[in-house]
Chains A and B, each alone.
Chain A
C-alpha cells in the first residue's frame, strides 16, 4: 500500500535517475575501468593493471599539463576575482551610470568561449593583430610580442583572455554581497570618522569574506576544467606550452587513440576536481553570514 502510494513519486524521479545513470554514472564507472586496460579502440583491450598510471607519472607532458592547469586556474582566479572585486567596490559607490557599467562588464561573460578565443587569436596575431598594431601606433613597438605564438608568453596570454572574459562574473556576485551590507553599518562607520580605505579594510572586506572565498573557489574549480579557450587559441601549443589536462586528455584519446592511457588521465582529473568541488559544497552549506 505504502509503495503503491509512493509509486507516483518514483515515476516522477525515474527519467532523471535513468538519464543520470546512463549518461553520467555508467560512463564514470567505465572510465575508471578502462584506465586499467590498454586499448586502441579496435583490437580487443588488454588488461595492464596499473601500468597506465605508472606511465602517466613518468610522462613529463602529463606533469606539464597538470602544472599548466594549476597555473591557469590560480592566475585566472586571482585575476578575475581581483578585478571583479575592484569593479564591484567601484560600482557600489553609486557612481553615475552604475547600471550601465554592470551591464557592460557582464557582456563578455555571455560570449561563447569559442568566439572569445577565435577573436583573441586575431587580436594576438603578430603582424596585423590589433594588440601589436596598437602598440606600434602609440610608439611602444618595443613591447610588441608574439603572444600565443611563442612558448614563453603563450600561457600568460591565454590566462589574460580568461581574465578579460570572466571578471564580470565575480563582479556580479561581489556587488550583490556588498549591496547586502546594511546601510546602517556604513553610516555608523562614516559617523565615526573612518576613512574609506579603512572602511573597506575593516568593514566591507570582512563582511563579504565568505562570498569572496566562495566565488574564488568556484572560479578555481571552473578554471581547472579549462578546454575551449586553450583548444581554439593554441591547441595546447606551441611545443605543448599551453597544454592543460582537458586538451591532454582529448589528444591522448582522440588523436593518438590511447583510450586506456587517456582514461587514466580522466581518473586523475576526476579525483582532483571532484574532491575540490565536493569539499567546497560541504563547506558552503554550513557557512553563511548573518547580520
Chain B
C-alpha cells in the first residue's frame, strides 16, 4: 500500500536488526526450552533423567504414560483425573454459556425497569476477588451436598465466569441484527423460542469465542478444587499435579511419571491453542481492555 515505507528508514536511523533478532531468539529459547524439557523428560527413564538430563530420550519410553494413565503409585489412575477435569470443564461451559447468553441477550434487547441497575450489579461482581468467598463456600457446599461433587464445581465455575461472559455477550448482542428475531416473533415464536431457534444458531461464532476464552482457566483452576474436592476419586488434574511434591529429585523414582502427568495436562490446552490461536489472542485483547 505504501511503497515509500521500504525506502525511507535508512539503516543508520534504525536500531541494529541483529540485536533485535538476538533478543527474540534468546527469549524464544528461554520460553521454549522448559516446555520441551517437560515433554522430553516425560518419555525418559528415571535413570536417564538423573544421569543425562540434557540428552534426548534413549530409548524413547512411553511407559510413564501407560503407568500414570492406569494408575500405579498414585492412588487413583490418571485417567480418573482426566475424565473429572474434562467433565467439569465441559459442564461448566455449557451452564456458563447458556446462562450468560440468556442474560446478555436480555440486557442488550430488553427495555425493562432495572436493566441498567442489573448491568451495574454485574460490573460490581466482576471486581470481586474470588478467593475471599472460599470459607462460606466450603461450608454451604457441604450442607447442600455440592462439596466433592462435579455438579457443585460446575455451578461454581460457571458462576465465577458469569460477570465477564455476560458483559461480552451483551456487547455482542447489541450489534446483532433485530430483523432476524422480529421475523421469528411475527411467525408466532415466543421470545425464548426465537432466542433458541434463531439467535443461538446465528451466534455460533460468538458463543464459540466465549467458550474459548473460558476453557483454559476452568481446566487449570486450582484454588476452589483444592478446597472443595478432598476425595481422591473426584479430583481434577491441577490437584493431581499439586499433590505430587517430592522432597528431592534423587529420593524420588517417579519423576518421569510426574512429567507425563504434567505433559498430559498441558497437551489439550496446547492443541487447543494451536487450533484457535487467533480467537484466543483476540479474546485476550478484548477481555483485557474491557
Quick check: is A90 within 8 A (CB to CB) of the other chain?
yes
Residues of A with C-beta under 8 A to B30? 164
Q: Given A19-B158, A23-B155, does the pair A121, B245 have CB atoms closer than 8 Å?
A: yes
Binds A, one of B59-67, B176-184, B202-210, B218-226: B218-226
Segment 169-184 of A: residues with Cβ below 8 Å from B = 169, 172-173, 176, 183
Q: Is the CB of A24 within 8 A of B128?
A: yes
B128–A28 touching, CB < 8 Å: yes
Check B136 against A90 for contact (C-beta < 8 Å).
no
The verdict on B123 contacting chain A, using a C-beta distance below 8 Å, is: yes
- Knowing A112-B219, A273-B129, A274-B129, say if A104 contacts B166 (CB, 8 Å): no
> 1/0 per position for A118-138, CB-CB distance to B under 8 A?
111111011111100100010
Distance of A24 Cα from B103 Cα, bound (Å)? 17
Q: Which one of B23, B156, B249, B290 contacts A122 once the chains associate, using CB atoms below 8 Å? A: B249
> Within the assembled complex, what's the spacing in Å between the Cα atoms of A183 and B262?
44
A113, CB-defined interface residue at 8 Å? yes
- Residues of A within 8 Å of B127, CB to CB, are 273-274, 277-278, 281
Chain A residues with CB below 8 A from B137, complex form? 23, 27
Main secondary structure of the interface of A (DSSP, over half): helix
Distance between Cα atoms of A274 and B133 in the complex (Å): 13
Q: Could you mark each residue 187-207 of chain A with 1 if its beta carbon is under 8 Å from any beta carbon of chain B, else 0? A: 100110111110000000000
A96 to chain B, nearest CB (A): 8
Give Cα A104 to B277, complex, Å: 11
- A173 x B23 contact (CB < 8 A): no
Q: How far, in angstroms, from A81 to B237 measured CA to CA in the complex? A: 30
| B224 → A minimal CB distance (Å) | 10
B281 CB contact (under 8 Å) in A86, A106, A114 = A106
Bound-state CA distance A83–B289 (Å) is 19
Q: Is the interface of B mostly helix, strand, loop or mixed?
A: helix
A291 located at the interface, meaning its Cβ lies under 8 Å from any Cβ of chain B in the complex: no
Bound form: Cα–Cα A126–B41 in Å = 18
- Name A169's closest neighbour in chain B (CB-CB): B284
Known pairs A115-B262, A173-B284; A101 contacts B13 (CB<8 A): no
User: A41 — which chain B residues lie within 8 A by C-beta?
Assistant: 139
> Which stretch (A5-13, A49-57, A139-147) binds chain B?
A5-13
Report if A115-B191 is in contact (Cβ < 8 Å); known contacts: A28-B128, A122-B255, A228-B238: no
Enumerate chain B residues within 8 angstroms of A218, measured Cβ to Cβ. Answer: 288
A104, B41: Cα distance in complex, Å: 20
Tell me if A154 is interfacial: C-beta within 8 Å of chain B.
no
CB of B134 within 8 Å of the partner chain? yes
Are the CB atoms of A107 and B31 closer together than 8 Å? yes
* Given known A-B contacts A20-B159, A28-B133, A277-B127, A128 and B249 have beta carbons under 8 A apart: yes
Interface pair A13/B125, CB less than 8 Å apart: no
Assembled-state Cα–Cα distance A270/B133 (Å):
9
Question: A176 to chain B: which residues have CB within 8 Å?
Answer: 285
B172 within 8 A of A: no
Whole-angstrom distance between the alpha carbons of A16 and B105 in the complex? 12
A214 at the interface (CB under 8 A from B): yes
Given the known interface contacts A90-B24, A111-B266, the answer about A183 and B158 at a Cβ–Cβ threshold of 8 Å is no
Q: What is the distance, in angstroms, from B142's C-beta to the closest C-beta of chain A?
A: 10
The answer to whether B248 and A108 touch across the interface, beta carbons within 8 angstroms, is no
Q: Which of B128, B237, B284 makes the CB contact (< 8 A) with A274?
A: B128
List the B side residues contacting A104 at CB < 8 Å. Answer: 28, 31-32
CA distance A249 to B219 in the complex (A): 23
Cβ-based interface call for A61 (8 A): no
* CB under 8 Å from chain A, chain B span 171-230: 190-192, 195, 216, 219-220, 222-223, 226-227
User: Besides the contacts A102-B281, A137-B54, what 4 more A-B pairs have beta carbons closer than 8 Å?
Assistant: A101-B28, A112-B241, A172-B281, A227-B131
By a beta-carbon cutoff of 8 Å, the part of chain B in contact with chain A is 1-2, 4-5, 8-9, 13-15, 17, 20-21, 23-24, 27-28, 30-32, 34-35, 37-38, 41, 49-50, 53-54, 98-100, 102-103, 105-107, 109-110, 112-113, 115, 118, 121-140, 155-156, 158-160, 162-163, 166, 190-192, 195, 216, 219-220, 222-223, 226-227, 237-239, 241-242, 244-245, 248-250, 255, 258-259, 262, 265-266, 269-270, 272-273, 277, 280-281, 284-285, 288-290
